Structure 1
Amino acid sequence: MFPKPRADLKPNTYEFETQPLVSPSGFREYDARWLYPEQINLNGVQALGLGLGTLFHEMGVRPAVAVGQDYRSYSVSIKQALIIGLMRAGCEVHDIGLALSPVAYFSQFALDVPCVAMVTASHNENGWTGVKMGAQRPLTFGPDEMGRVKEIVLSGAFKEREGGKYIQVTDMAERYIADLTNRPKITRKLRVVAACGNGTAGHFAPRVLEGIGVEVIPLDCTLDYTFPHYNPNPEDMEMLHALRDKVLSEGADVGLGFDGDGDRCGVVDNTGEEIFADKVGVMLARDLSSRFPNAQFVVDVKSTGLFLTDPVLIANGAKTDYWKTGHSYIKRRAHELNALVGFEKSGHYFFNPPIGRGYDDGLVSAIAICDMLDRNPGKKMSELREALPKTWGSPTMSPFCPDEVKYEVVERMVKLFTDMKAKGETMLGQKIRDLVTVNGVRVVLEDGTWGLVRASSNKPGLVVVVESPTSEANMRGMFAEVDKRLSANPEVGEYDQKI
């Protein structure tokens, strides 16, 4: 019988080498993330696989699962331990090898298997590992399923079964690339910088973009799990600045940056201007709603208010639903509403048929951007950006806050702003017009200036975003108003970046 996991094991001890270590904090809202080996050891990963396989059986799905791993020095070891656990639970494991998260999602369709377990820490810094899981393509687990996995694993309620099977799949990367490039070529001559931060996307992005007919200028596409230049995260200003510099030096039409597991895409235009992913979403929504009138979109609460106020979207009859931040939430909501696309400010885009299969894929997003430019041959990326109504927005900012208290801190902020609104108190000399509390709290003032505070779903921290449709001063003022109230909580620490 597999032993019940513990959270108090110390490295370089007999117990650490023979018992499973699993920190409860690693089970997050829609995937799992741990520091390795401080918070989870290989026996703990095996426990995770056994618990995940137990849940697959409990859910009544066929226990066949596609498993892949990202390019980190320890990811193969993590994957192998996970596979052992899955097989002990009686699962048929299809090992697709080195992959992007969207390659793993694609393999569910290509192999006709219902389940997926992708070993990746996405954009988290080295030292992190994790697993993205699902049992109903194209969806991934949400809080209910993650809560049940956590319960099974931490309580040791495993059910070992006979029938575990291992199948190695050696050609999934080629099948995925062929699937994306088996289409008409781009007719416009485009020069595109592809920045991959030395992460897994470096093996895929240049080949896919070349395959659709664009000229690719690679930037940090050599795989290197030390991430020597910057963390592969297209929300990180360091990566965006490197992309900007390359676009300007090469005179490229656009720069596209991909995160560590390739499910997100960041954009820099031909002038070197970094375009936040929610604004790129508005540009794509404009383009797509002209082809698909009355299209339904879903966006997360971190995203710009332009999805509701943009005159082109209004004229095209587009409808937009604001929903919880998180790839699992937006993916599920877009599926429920049969939305054409779901957009997240983080750069996760979910294209449903006829464009995509419903899962987040940074390369499908990149293709959509190239197609948009191809359909506007007389316009540069900067001109499409400048055609949007002007707003001033911040990057995503994340102050440290321990996992154990971050949701409590957010609840305090919800109560604080709710009380302020009820009392008619003002910020920037304006009353609070609206509060959106579907995910944290988004405070909207009378002129449309807004600020968001929510808990990070994948690391110990909070998320702060602000935007103003009236002035940069109001955007910065809104941040100051939010920050002074948030920083009054003693559990809140330093930001990763600030405006």
Structure 2
Amino acid sequence: MFPKPQVALSPNTFEYESFPLVKPTGFREYDARWLFEKEINLMGVQALGMGLGTLVHEMGVRPDIVTGHDFRGYSSSIKYALISGMMAAGLRVKDVGLALSPMAYFGQFELDCPAVAMVTASHNDNGWTGVKMGANRPMTFGPEEMGRLKDIVMNAAFKLREGGAYEFVANFRDRYIADLTDRPKLKRKLKVVAACGNGTAGAFAPQVLEMIGCEVIPLDVNLDHTFPRYNPNPEDMKMLHAIADKVRETGADVGLGFDGDGDRCGVVDNNGDEIFADKIGVMLARDLSKLHANAQFVVDVKSTGLFATDPVLKAQGAKTDYWKTGHSYIKRRVNELSALAGFEKSGHFFFNKPVGRGYDDGVLTAIAVCEMLDRNPGRSMADLYNAVPKTWGSPTMAAKCADEVKYGVVDRVVERFAQISRNGENVGGHPIVDLITVNGVRVVTDDGTWGLVRASSNKPELVVVVESPVSEARMRDMFKVVDDVLRENAEVGAYNQTI
């Protein structure tokens, strides 16, 4: 009988080597994240694998699963512990080896496996690990599945079965790259900076971009799991500034940055100006809605209000649905609405048929950006960006807040803004005209300025974003309002970055 997981154990002890360690807060809304060794040990990962196998059988899903791992010093060992648990629970595992998350998602289709378990901490700092899971391609788990998985694992309610199997799928990287590059080559010669932050994408993105016809300028593409220059995260200003410097130095047409597991892409224009991903989404929506009349899009509540107000999108009949932040939520909503694409401010982009298969792939996003430029000869990336109505927006800012209390803090913030609205009070000198509470709270004033507070789904943080179509001063006014409300809660700590 497998022992029940413990919520805390001291390393370098008999107990640590004898019991599974699984901190319950590691089960997030739509994936799982832990600090390896402090919050989960290898025996705990094995328990997670047994729990996942139990859940897959409980759901009535054919027990074939794709797995892979990202490039961190400990990811391979975590994957094999996970595999041992999945096999014990009767899953037939196909291991695609070192992979991007979208390569594992591609494996669900290419290898005909309903389920996926990708070992990755995505853009989280070294020390973190996690698993992105799903059992209904192309969707990944949401709160209901993650809640049930947590119950199974923490209560050791495993149902172990015969029939588990393992197969290593050799050279699967080549099949993934061949699928991405099975398309007409670009007519326009583009010079592209490909920045990978020494993460997993370095083994994939530069080659793909070369194969579609780009001249590639590599930046931090050698795999190095110490991430010596910066964390591979295209929302991190350090990475964006490094890309901008290289674009200016080389005269590149565009800079493209990929996160640690390759499911997100950040963009810098030919002038070296960073373009936040939601604005890239607007540009791609403009481009795609020319090709596909009356296109439906889905965007997250962190994204610019331009999806609803842009005159070009309106003229082309495009419709946009604002939905919960999180790759699992947006992916599922894109599927439900049969939307052409979904865009997140974080850089998760989901292209549905005929562009993609509905899952998020940063390399496919990079291809879409290059093809957009190819369809606009004579216009630079900066030209396309400048054609979008001007707004002043912040980067995604994250304030520290413990996992155990962050949702309660958000509830209080939502109620505080609801009270301000009920009382008819102004925020930053303007009345509130809308409170969007589908995911935290998005406070919108009469001039279109807005501010968002929500709980991070994968880290002990609160996420803050502000934007104004009026001025930088109005954006800063809104940030002060939001920050003042946050500071009414002693549990809220410092930001990782700010305006």
d(CA) in 2 for partners of 1:16, 1:239: 37
Shift of 1:471: 0.3
TM-superposed deviation, 1:293? 1.2
Query: What residue number does 1:145 align with?
Result: 145
User: Which range moves more in the overlay, 479-488 or 320-329?
Assistant: 479-488
**Is 1:37–2:37 an aligned residue pair?**
yes
The alpha carbon displacement at 1:298 in A equals 0.2
Is the contact made by 2:308 and 2:320 (CA closer than 8 Å) also made in structure 1? Answer: yes
Alignment of 1:322-401 (within 5 A): 322-401=322-401
Matched with 1:106 is 106
Given the alignment of the two structures, is residue 488 of structure 1 paired with residue 488 of structure 2, yes or no? yes
Distance 1:14 1:137 in 2: 41
Q: C-alpha distance in 1, partners of 2:348/2:8?
A: 35
Say which SS state the counterpart of residue 107 (structure 1) adopts. helix
In structure 2, distance between residues paired with 1:145 and 1:428? 41
Aligned-residue offset at 1:405:
0.5
Q: Give the number of aligned pairs.
A: 499
Partner of 1:283: 283
Residue type at the aligned position of 1:66 = V
Partner of 2:183: 183
CA-CA distance at 1:189 after TM superposition: 0.8
SS, match of residue 37 in structure 2? coil
CA deviation after TM superposition for structure 1 residue 376, in Å: 0.2
Q: Show CA shifts across 1:380-412 (max 9, x none).
A: 000000001110000000000000000000000
> Which residue is equivalent to 2:169?
169
Structure 1 segments of 4+ aligned residues over 6 angstroms from their partners = none
d(CA) in 2 for partners of 1:51 and 1:476? 46
Q: Distance in 1 between matches of 2:255 and 2:410?
A: 35
Match of 1:409 in 2: 409
Distance of 2:236 and 2:488 partners within structure 1: 26
Aligned to 2:23: 23
**Structure 1 residue 9: Cα displacement:** 1.1
Correspondence for 2:62: 62
Unaligned runs of 5+ in 1: none
1:18-62 superposed Cα distances (whole Å, 9 cap, x missing partner)? 110000010000000000100000000000000000000000001
Q: Which amino acid aligns with 2:222?
A: T
Identity %: 72
**Cα distance, 1:325 vs structure 2:** 0.1
Which residue in 2 is equivalent to 1:457? 457
1:129 paired with 2:115, answer no
Q: CA deviation at 1:225?
A: 0.1
Q: Any conservation in 1 of the 2:8–2:39 contact (CA below 8 Å)?
A: no
Residue identity in the other structure for 2:184: P
Secondary structure of the corresponding residue to residue 467 of structure 1: strand
Q: Which digits, 9 at most, give the CA deviation of each residue in 1:177-221, with x for residues without a partner?
A: 000111110000100000000000000000110010111000000
After TM superposition, the structure 1 = structure 2 runs for residues 242-257 of structure 1, keeping only pairs within 5 Å, are 242-257=242-257
Q: How far apart in 2 are the matches of 1:370 and 1:468?
A: 29
Q: How far apart, CA to CA, are the structure 1 residues paired with 2:412 and 2:227?
A: 37
Q: What displacement does 1:90 show? A: 0.7
* SS of alignment partner, residue 399 of structure 1: strand
1:120 shift after superposition: 0.1
- Counterpart of 2:10 in structure 1 is 10
1:407 is matched by which residue type in structure 2? Y
> What is aligned with 2:204?
204
Q: How does 1:442-481 map to 2 (within 5 A)?
A: 442-481=442-481
1:81-92 alignment, distance < 5 Å: 81-92=81-92
Q: CA deviation at 1:487?
A: 1.4
Residue ranges of structure 2 left out of the alignment (5+ in a row): none
Q: How far apart in 2 are the matches of 1:9 and 1:411?
A: 31
Equivalences for residues 169-318 of structure 1 within 5 A: 169-318=169-318
- Deviation at residue 171 of structure 1 after TM alignment: 1.5
- The amino acid that maps onto 1:30 is Y
2:340 alignment partner AA: L
1:430-441 maps to which residues of 2 (within 5 A)? 430-441=430-441
Question: 1:429, CA displacement in angstroms?
Answer: 1.3
User: How far, CA to CA, are the matches of 1:207 and 1:175 in structure 2?
Assistant: 13
What is the CA–CA distance in structure 1 between the aligned matches of 2:174 and 2:147, rounded to whole Å? 35
RMSD value, Cα:
0.4
Q: Distance in 2 between matches of 1:58 and 1:483?
A: 44
Deviates more, 1:1-10 or 1:126-135: 1-10
Distance 2:74 2:19 in 1: 19
Structure 2: how far apart are the matches of 1:177 and 1:291?
Answer: 25
Letter in 1 for 2:14: Y
Mapped to 2, the partners of 1:458 and 1:45 lie a distance apart of 17
Within 1, Cα distance between the matches of 2:466 and 2:260? 26
- Using the TM superposition, give the Cα deviation of residue 378 of structure 1 relative to its aligned residue in structure 2, in angstroms: 1.0
Q: Kindly indicate whether the alpha-carbon contact (under 8 Å) linking 2:432 and 2:444 is maintained by their aligned counterparts in 1.
A: yes
User: Scaled by the length of structure 1, what TM-score is found?
Assistant: 1.00
SS of residue paired to 2:404: coil
Q: Which amino acid aligns with 2:141?
A: F
- Equivalent residue of 2:121, what SS? coil
Q: Is the CA contact 2:397–2:465 (under 8 Å) kept in the aligned structure 1?
A: yes
CA distance in 2, matches of 1:80, 1:30: 22
Aligned residue identity for 2:146: M
Separation of aligned partners in 1, 2:427 and 2:80: 53
Offset of residue 170 of structure 1: 1.1
- Return the alpha-carbon distance in structure 2 between the equivalents of residues 163 and 16 of structure 1: 30
Shift of 1:328: 0.1
AA in 2 matched with 1:168: F
Instruction: Indicate conservation of the 8 Å contact 2:300/2:343, yes or no.
Output: yes
> 1:434 corresponds to which letter in structure 2?
D
Report the CA distance between 1:272 and its aligned residue: 0.5
CA distance in 2: counterparts of 1:379 and 1:414, whole angstroms: 43
Secondary structure of 1:398 counterpart: strand
CA distance in 2, matches of 1:43, 1:429: 55
| 1:418-433 alignment runs, 5 A limit | 418-433=418-433
Q: Partner of 2:184: helix, strand, or coil?
A: coil
SS for the counterpart of 1:405 is helix
1:279-309 CA deviation, whole Å, 9 max, x = no partner? 0000000000011111000000000000000
Deviations 1:84-123 (A, max 9, x none): 0000001100011000000000001010010000000000
CA distance in 2, matches of 1:419, 1:318: 35
**Amino acid of the structure 1 residue aligned with 2:410:** V
- 1:350-394 CA-to-partner distances (Å, cap 9, x unmatched) read 000000000000011000000000000110000000001110000
- Structure 2 partner of 1:120: 120
Q: How far 1:322 moved relative to its partner?
A: 0.2
